Amino acid sequence: MMTMTLELVETAAFIDGLWIESETTFEVLNPADGTVITRVADLGASETRVAIEAAHRAFPAWAARTAKARGAILRKWSDLMLVHSEALARLMTAEQGKPLAESRGEVAYGAAFIDWFADEAKRAYGHAIPSPMPGKRLVSIKQPVGVCAAIAPWNFPIAMITRKVGPALASGCTVVVKPAAETPLCALAIARLAVEAGVPAGVLNIVTGKDSSAIGKALCDDARVRKLSFTGSTPVGKTLYAQCAGTMKKLSLELGGNAPFIVFDDADLEAAVDGAIASKYRNTGQTCVCANRLLVQSGIHDAFVARLTEKVAAMKVGPGTGEGVTIGPLINAKAMRKVGDLVNEAILAGAYATTGGGDDPYDPERFFSPTVLINVTPEMRLFQEEIFGPVAPVVKFETEQDAIDLANATPFGLASYFYSRDVGRCWRVAEAIEAGMVGINEGLISTVVAPFGGVKDSGLGREGSSEGLNEYLETKYLCFGGVGA
């Protein structure tokens, strides 16, 4: 075990203000070398119900505080994350694998959700509604939903938790978090900082465990949980959606994507290449908003591919702690197999790797070479499925309408991107693409202040921004009668 070199390591779950040990534990592995970082408490459905009970008990007192009072505690929590940024970033790189510079960026991104919602909840305004009837006065108010469940993924071990917990706690809800089994350490570390900041017992609970289905089902089945927010795959999201029907929960589902990245002939070539790299290779290709299909118009295709290949070939592969590394390991062996299979199938069907194309010599068991594939066609599986690896498939197209048709030829609709210098085209294409988010001449679009989320099979609801706060609030309409004229 390697706990000595890392700070803020907690191995117990956190329920009702207490650190809960368990006789059974599971391993947390470093994806860069397969070593065991530590072992963490392995809880299940019954402990999840204990956490829900704690959150339910804590709710009335937390909701009764003013938004300003809650915000003061949350701001302190966000500050503590920044004070401990380096320790959190090293923990993140150890359990998730991303390059240290990206981990530092994620700590700042994660803390920003807490800080921003701490202020935004002060503006959870209702409405005074002009009454159409004499003698009546109508208003609507906003109230916290109640106990919330947050099921988080491994690819952003802090930010995908704070994006849910920030608005929940700021609006007066209490939360039970289930972090991914691959990355529980960041969740537990920020819980420790939450205690230091003054978050009361029961307001934030972290249930660690390997059996995600049992914990997820316990959260869905319990009527005391009034809202569930999940980030992860579309099949799991659909299961949770169905399981929540019985208790009619409010839902936010941030699911899979298949982002098109369109480069028109009139694009700024260098900007488009840099945007494609930023979007595609962030977190070693393991984000829901990564460019999944590069659609490139015939007039610029060869120049774009040449420049992209040159830059991708120069990327440095290695452990996230290595100097200058931009491509880390994939999360596990299953991910390596999936990416390898998608690439091999495409090559067998006629695609060609201008760089990369397989397991990386740095460590072929855990690292996949940053890859550019040309001659890709829509029939290939990697055009249709989320790759979640450092592979950029390029498809050539002729007309604007072809690009829109190709972009929309998917059940997913999370992020999308395109590069063009024609203002009219920018409006037309942005409106025609079926996606929740569009980057126009920009490859990095995520920010706490903008609504993040998808359409079609990419999910429901929005996170971040005032829309993200609203997901944790109920609107209550009050009708005052007998007021007089």
* Residues 112-131 as x/- pattern, contact with ligand SIN by CB under 6 A: --------------------
Residues 203-232 that bind ligand SIN (CB under 6 A): 231
* Residues 249-288 as x/- pattern, contact with ligand SIN by CB under 6 A: -----x--------------------------------xx
**Apex 398 CA angle, 439 and 372, nearest 5:** 60
Residues 289-308 that bind ligand SIN (CB under 6 A): 289
Cα Dmax for the chain: 82
Q: Identify which of residues 174 and 287 has a Cβ nearer to ligand SIN in the complex.
A: 287
Q: Which of 148, 186, 288, 290 is catalytic?
A: 288
Nearest-approach distance from CB 105 to ligand SIN, in angstroms: 10
Q: Identify which of residues 9 and 387 has a Cβ nearer to ligand SIN in the complex.
A: 387
Can residue 368 be called a binding residue for ligand SIN (CB under 6 A)?
A: no
Neighbours of 466 (CB within 10 A): 15
Q: Identify which of residues 258 and 446 has a Cβ nearer to ligand SIN in the complex.
A: 446
Number of residues located near ligand SIN, criterion CB under 6 A: 8
Residues 121-180 that bind ligand SIN (CB under 6 A): 155-156
- Catalytic residue flag (residue 220): no
3-state secondary structure labels for all residues of the chain: CCHHHCCCCCCCEEECCEEECCCCEEEEECCCCCCEEEEEECCCHHHHHHHHHHHHHHHHHHHHCCHHHHHHHHHHHHHHHHHCHHHHHHHHHHHHCCCHHHHHHHHHHHHHHHHHHHHHHHHCCCEEECCCCCCCEEEEEEEECCEEEEECCCCCCCHHHHHHHHHHHHHCCEEEEECCCCCHHHHHHHHHHHHHHCCCCCCEEECCCCCHHHHHHHHHHCCCEEEEEEECCHHHHHHHHHHHHHHCCEEEEECCCCEEEEECCCCCHHHHHHHHHHHHHHHHHCCCCCEEEEEEEHHHHHHHHHHHHHHHHCCCECCCCCCCCCECCCCCHHHHHHHHHHHHHHHHCCCEEEECCCECCCCCCCCECCEEEECCCCCCHHHHCCCCCCEEEEEEECCHHHHHHHHHCCCEECEEEEECCCHHHHHHHHHHCCCCEEEECCCCCCCCCCCECCEECCEECCECHHHHHHCCEEEEEEEECCCCC
Contacts of 81 (CB under 8 A, 6+ apart): 88, 107, 110, 111, 114, 158, 190, 193
Residues 329-348 that bind ligand SIN (CB under 6 A): none
Q: Which of 10, 53, 102, 254 is catalytic?
A: 254
Nearest-approach distance from CB 231 to ligand SIN, in angstroms: 5
Q: Identify which of residues 284 and 287 has a Cβ nearer to ligand SIN in the complex.
A: 287
Nearest-approach distance from CB 156 to ligand SIN, in angstroms: 5
Q: Identify which of residues 56 and 164 has a Cβ nearer to ligand SIN in the complex.
A: 164
Nearest-approach distance from CB 100 to ligand SIN, in angstroms: 18
Q: Identify which of residues 254 and 434 has a Cβ nearer to ligand SIN in the complex.
A: 254
Residues 415-454 that bind ligand SIN (CB under 6 A): 446
| Terminal CA-CA length for the chain | 75
Question: Closest residue (Cβ) to ligand SIN?
Answer: 446
Q: Identify which of residues 147 and 330 has a Cβ nearer to ligand SIN in the complex.
A: 330
- Catalytic residue flag (residue 288): yes
Q: Are the beta carbons of 237 and 255 closer than 8 angstroms?
A: yes
Q: Identify which of residues 47 and 254 has a Cβ nearer to ligand SIN in the complex.
A: 254
Residues forming the active site: 254, 288
Judged by the rule CB under 6 A, the positions of this chain that interact with ligand SIN are: 155-156, 231, 254, 287-289, 446
